[in-house]
Structure 1
Amino acid sequence: MTYKQYRQYLENHLSKNRYEHTLRVYDTAIELAGLYNADREIVEQAALLHDICKCESDDVLIHKIKQYNIDESLLTFNKELWHGPVGAHFVQDVFQITDETIYNCMYYHTTGREKMTVEELVIFVADYIEPGRNFPGVEEVRELAKIDLKRAAFQALKNTLIFLISKNATLHPNTILAYNDLAK
């Protein structure tokens, strides 16, 4: 599919707000890719498709987790994490996108993971700092993203962990591993 066809698909399958968020993530990711010499083609596709399953119902996401044989322990964590792994499998299944880096960018964009590639870091940070985001700590991460992508990702993870702990939420192991990896 072409960029235009992906955009048309997204416009038809995402809410207006989610579609606009996706375009802001795309623009932010392209900017970061240029700063950090990430593979632009990979970043373009991953940024555009990262939330492709975000607007699916819980029932559909649960069905797809089972259909794609995704580790069902995912269901024990906040449902906001489900769409990343499902989306990664969905684009393989429906669009035949088999690039491992695109898959990983999509799969881990909500949790992070240990040893993220530059492309994964770009998508993770772009999703966190896109201009529509407005919450405590986002400005600091935006400034860090201009000078040190890993520090920006670390601060985003730190902010996320603090927020989740304050809400007594469960912590996904990949988020803890990503934090520990970037803390080195």
Structure 2
Amino acid sequence: MEREDALKIVKEQLTDHRYRHTLGVMETAISLAKRYGADVKKAELAAIFHDYAKFRPKDELRQIILAQKFPENLLDYHSELWHAPAGAYLVEVEAGIKDKEVLDAITYHTSGRPRMTLLEKVIYLADYIEPGRHFPGVDEVRALAKEDLDKALIQAVKNTILFLMKKNQPVYPDSFQTYNDLVMSQED
């Protein structure tokens, strides 16, 4: 699917603010893909569609998670996580994207997972550091992303976990496991 066609489909699903975010994620993903050797076209496509289901009703997302047999414990955690796996399903069904790597990058862009692929890492990080993001710690992660993808990812996941802990919110187990997997792989 060409960029313009994908953007047209996505624009109909998003607010203007979220569409601008998506454009920032797309440009950041392309840059990271070029820097670290990921497939640029797949990075572009996954970035464009990463928030496709962001504004769908929670009940619709819940039903997709149950029907598609995503881990049910996902429903025990903040609904902000739901749009990623449900979105991957909707992107496949509604936009006709069948590439498993692209769909997995969409699925895991909020939680991460152990043994993330290069494309998954690129999309997770692009979503975290795109130029429109402004929060404590993002500039440090942007700087790390210019030097080492995994170190940037470790810091991004760590920041997210600490943010949730400071707010006394539960942390989805895949996020902890992502952090542990990345840290342990640095030790090898």
* TM-score, scaled relative to structure 1: 0.96
Match of 1:133 in 2: 133
Match of 2:77 in 1: 77
Match of 2:94 in 1: 94
Q: What is the deviation of 1:54?
A: 0.4
Match of 1:155 in 2: 155
2-structure distance, mates of 1:69, 1:89: 11
Give the secondary-structure state (helix, strand or coil) at the position aligned to 1:59.
helix
Match of 2:104 in 1: 104
2-structure distance, mates of 1:96, 1:13: 15
User: What's the CA shift string for 1:4-23, capped at 9, x where partnerless?
Assistant: 12111111111111111000
Bigger drift between 56-65 and 142-151 goes to: 56-65
Q: CA RMSD in A?
A: 1.1
Match of 1:179 in 2: 179
Q: What is the deviation of 1:68?
A: 2.6
Match of 1:4 in 2: 4
Give the secondary-structure state (helix, strand or coil) at the position aligned to 1:13.
coil
**1:6-45 aligned within 5 A:** 6-45=6-45
Matched, 1:116 2:123: no
How many residues are treated as equivalent by the alignment? Answer: 184
2-structure distance, mates of 1:179, 1:69: 24
User: What's the CA shift string for 1:31-88, capped at 9, x where partnerless?
Assistant: 1111101111110110010000001121221222233332322111011000000011
Aligned sequence identity (%): 45
Read off the aligned partner of 1:55 and give its amino acid letter.
F
2-structure distance, mates of 1:152, 1:28: 14
2-structure distance, mates of 1:12, 1:95: 12
2-structure distance, mates of 1:139, 1:26: 18
User: Unpaired runs of 5+ in structure 2?
Assistant: none
Q: Following TM superposition, where does structure 1 have runs of at least 4 consecutive aligned residues deviating by more than 6 angstroms?
A: none
Read off the aligned partner of 1:63 and give its amino acid letter.
Q
Bigger drift between 145-154 and 4-13 goes to: 4-13
1-structure distance, mates of 2:4, 2:30: 16
Q: What is the deviation of 1:95?
A: 2.5
User: Unpaired runs of 5+ in structure 1?
Assistant: none
1-structure distance, mates of 2:17, 2:157: 24
Match of 1:51 in 2: 51
Q: What is the deviation of 1:93?
A: 1.6
1-structure distance, mates of 2:72, 2:106: 18
Bigger drift between 123-132 and 3-12 goes to: 3-12
Read off the aligned partner of 2:145 and give its amino acid letter.
A
